[in-house]
Structure 1
């Protein structure tokens, strides 16, 4: 069978495209995912995300190259390798960023991606339960949110008392309370809304690939299918893919387009393996050049995160809650209790003294448990953790090849804190200070034990720098490695078509010109919603 469209990667973007393109019954769509089906129960029970950490069956389990500014540490980069991609293993926080983020995209040449243009696609995807309940002023809330979209967005069913203490402490530190980070203003502290439906995770697979969609006769979904390269006819037009599945190799033709949705790591790797990328990189691995594109894999950006940990003198954290009790409460009480928690229940967006404009430049994720090394290092006792990241880093990294085989992992150089002015490092110090200030507030008096990381509350700026270099980690938001723009040096044009070839697009977080001010899952889904419209309605 020849398919009209072949979509590579069933993550947040790929699931959206598979649904929207197959709405046309005359259009045959093939969706290829390297990972398995999303059957694991920990995927669907929100608190199960803590048990998915390091689970290689649903995770690409990437690591960076040694990071020179972070004591040459090799950082762990988990990415979803399962139906739903990273939306099946993330913390479910629904954040869109602020209008200026998208207006900057348009100013950099991404025509049609300004805030006024993208808001309708956010609303199309969003099924916000507050809209349906009309719990807020209709005119204000409904103007910015959608209630009928496929991606269900809900308020948390269960909140730990420590999360409420964090919000109170934030207001005591001078930050306003904010019940909607995607509303008229982003600033403040509050509870996150989450991508959950009836107390269960609503991943992109749950939202866009439900049983009724999977049963469409014109949609074929293959899991366990690793794409090795995109093929071309006449040296220019993408006409299919080669992939391996169940130990066999296949070539599948595409009549209209091939669409790469592998994310900020896999999509640039696949382009280079297919002959699209920097010519010196391709020559090094003996890959014939289809199109010279020097910025494939460049412009890599990520939010670097520093965690402040404190012991808790009362046994209210999630550290000691038994997994059996969580599962029992969740499955036998109708998806209630701690099992519905996304763990990172509360957070906030604040503006530091170094902010160049009025946007918040620091984001918090509060966790009512001790979280060290992504939760892979278990600590004794009870405690709580505050993540803080700088939202608009100036450092840039890159993705490159280690071989010409798709089964080999690419090289990831995040180049954290490498900007020439040292601004990113100064901002990370501000992040650590802001966390320390919140933990010092009266609201934490009933809970506050001894500090864990850092071990003292009186560190100087120089000592905080040492702490950051030793402990900072990713907060899982890599973007930008297939930059969208209007210039010839961009990898894709504003219609997300790969420059230099025909019949090939990239649709995922890799096309973002710059990081938005927040989590990247909702913007990726928005990108795919708009891309589906562009594909189905060519100008």
Structure 2
């Protein structure tokens, strides 16, 4: 093994957080940064066409193609578990929805860690720092409130969707009739309401973090990018006071095993699956797990890979009458041709669609103090991801519990970086989560029963209107539920006296020098919404702390 070079910083993972960090750190001309990505460049054409997520998920060219362990709460089912494996990471294959969550999410992080840097009012500037919101464009319709909560001129483009569906407009009106207010902005700290989602697109193309943050940075002399290169292990030496210090990484690259070293820090940005896997393979994790696989212990941290949280979407399907849906529009070659031509000429229509178009945030029951449900409503239906559309007009009203109490784990299955870890989200593992699942299906029924949606004579195909009891609805939720691709929490931050905390409030791995984790894994609790943009906010904070070498 040869030592190729020494850098100031080594970033593992060129995904959502890694691309932003590489941009921010390499902006200093006196700093040398190595960014390592296991996947290839983001040149696959389906990455950039919004509807192309259908062809990127579960595709080894762009996805790690993980599978979950069979879950009792899902009646023994195993799910695909997409994680991006290309420049841009999950931002290259995700739903493109721009969502921050709720102010209470970040205030809870501050209380959990004892660090007010995580309070909503101190996170908001980090969201705005990289934002480029369409409402603030010249001639845009942004008012003073938008200027207070949104940024303009940053790298992360936010646009309105380039389509409308009458059947979704009527679902939104039905939601209002069911007591869910309208909103024109999900991202001011309280996302209660119904509206079309805003998306990370530019002119009808997907806008991933590789385009936003890496393209410009690649031209800098101080940034070195190794793609198609997989980190095998972290390397360690002696730190202060006998603590281990992370000195660098061993990387499988171009058929060789090479080592790179870091003067200041190694930063793991490999995600809520990849980062705990690499820590465990390197001897940092639960002592029993390390011993089971014969891995020499560098530092015992029982929380590594634990505390996995994810949003489980329960996909209720309704057959409709007299509505145009994608099921019918794409049923003929003529319809497919019209869809393709509209995108070719206007960059609009179904090919510009995010996976979900209409969103709503609501309470599963009146006693809930905050919205605890998120809807992703689509003018289409199918049996399962990757299968053909149904041959009848239908919509899907997916609903997820924003604040699940079930906890799972990510644990290595072998002392081998090429072996996929065991991913056990433990969906619907608690009585509370099962109750919220049943209540969420009842709320969906109440929405579609409103006068605004009656014209479509909706017929419940899944789970089936004859299922009524809590027990039946929870069981059916387990049969039709799927991940919405938001794993977090497996390298959670916390106080020094929290034995399950993996990193401190400044994202430094506890008990190890020169090593940080900067990705969705550090969230102690999941945000109340999609997790991609909160991960960028985390990276923005981490970049400032890393640049200030005293932090």
TM-score range, shorter chain: over 0.9
SS in 2 for 1:143: helix
Q: Decide which of 477, 496, 510 is 2:507's aligned counterpart.
A: 496
Q: 1:32 to 1:326 in 2, by over 3 A?
A: farther
Post-superposition CA distance 1:317-356 (Å, at most 9, x none): 122425554333223x142332222131111101222654
CA gap 1:379/1:110 in 2 versus in 1, 3 angstroms: farther
- Which residue is 1:507 aligned to? 518
* C-alpha distance in structure 2 between counterparts of 1:412 and 1:78, whole Å: 12
Query: Is residue 340 from structure 1 mapped to residue 352 from structure 2 by the alignment?
Result: yes
2:123 pairs with 1:118: yes
For 2:262, the equivalent position in structure 1 comes to: 254
Question: Does residue 407 of structure 2 align to residue 402 of structure 1?
Answer: no
Higher deviation after alignment, 220-229 or 127-136: 127-136
1:171 aligns with 2:182: no
Query: Aligned-pair RMSD on alpha carbons?
Result: 1.8
Pick from 242, 256, 270: which aligns with 2:278?
Answer: 270
Q: Give the aligned partner of residue 78 of structure 1.
A: 82
Distance 1:165 1:3, change over 3 A: same
Specify the alignment match of 1:297 in structure 2: 305
Q: Distance in 1 between matches of 2:281 and 2:363?
A: 42
Partner of 2:70: 66
Provide the C-alpha distance between the structure 1 equivalents of 2:236 and 2:516, rounded to a whole number of angstroms: 13
Measured in 2, the distance between the counterparts of 1:318 and 1:86 equals: 25
Return the TM-score normalized by structure 2: 0.93
Give the corresponding residue for 1:199: 204
Paired residue secondary structure (1:464): helix
Q: Identify the residue that residue 308 of structure 1 maps to in structure 2.
A: 316
User: Cα deviation per residue 1:159-211 (whole Å; 9 max; x = unaligned)?
Assistant: 2222212211211212111111113631111111111112211111111112x
Q: Is residue 13 of structure 2 the alignment partner of residue 2 of structure 1?
A: no
C-alpha deviation, 1:484, in angstroms: 0.5
Residues 126-135 or 248-257, more deviating: 126-135
Q: Please report how far the alpha carbon of residue 136 of structure 1 lies from its aligned counterpart in structure 2 after TM superposition.
A: 4.7
- Helix, strand or coil: the match of 1:108? helix
> Which residue in the other structure is 1:486 paired with?
495
- Number of the residue aligned with 1:282: 290
Asked if the contact 1:54/1:376 (under 8 Å) is kept, the reply is: no
Using the TM superposition, name which of 336-345 and 79-88 deviates more: 336-345
What are the equivalent positions in structure 2 for 1:92-171 lying under 5 Å apart?
92-111=96-115, 112-133=117-138, 135-136=140-141, 138-171=143-176
In the alignment, the residues of structure 1 paired with residue 152 and residue 457 of structure 2 have an alpha-carbon distance, to the nearest angstrom, of 40
Secondary structure in structure 2 of the residue aligned to 1:154:
strand
Shift in CA distance, 368/457, structure 1 to aligned 2, threshold 3 Å: farther
Q: 1:323 to 1:453 in 2, by over 3 A?
A: same
Q: What's the CA shift for 1:144? A: 1.0
Partners of 1:373 and 1:193 in 2: CA distance:
25
Q: Which residue of 1 aligns with 2:456?
A: 447
Greater CA deviation, 27-36 or 133-142? 133-142
Contact map agreement 1:159 1:341 (CA 8 A) in 2: no
Deviation at 1:50, TM superposition (A): 2.5
Q: Verify the 8 A CA contact 1:355 1:361 in the aligned structure 2.
A: no
**Per-residue CA shift, 1:497-531, capped at 9, x if unaligned?**
11111111000000001011111001000000110
Which residue among 209, 224, 227 is the counterpart of 1:223? Answer: 227
Shift of 1:283: 0.9
* Aligned partners of 1:485 and 1:513 also within 8 Å: yes
What stretches of structure 1 of length at least 5 have no aligned partner?
A: none
Residue 258 of structure 2 aligns to a residue in which SS?
strand
Q: Which moved more, 1:175-184 or 1:514-523?
A: 175-184
Deviation at 1:450, TM superposition (A): 3.3
The aligned length equals 534
Unpaired runs of at least 5, structure 2: none
Question: Deviation digits for residues 15-54 of structure 1, max 9, x if unmatched?
Answer: 1111111101111111111112111221111122233332
Distance 1:361 1:190 in 2: 17
* Alpha-carbon offset, residue 55 of structure 1: 1.9
Secondary structure at the aligned position of 1:24 is classed as: coil
Residues 236, 246 of structure 2: 8 Å contact kept:
yes
The verdict on how the C-alpha distance between 1:410 and 1:187 changes in structure 2, with shifts beyond 3 A counting, is same
SS at 1:58's partner residue? coil
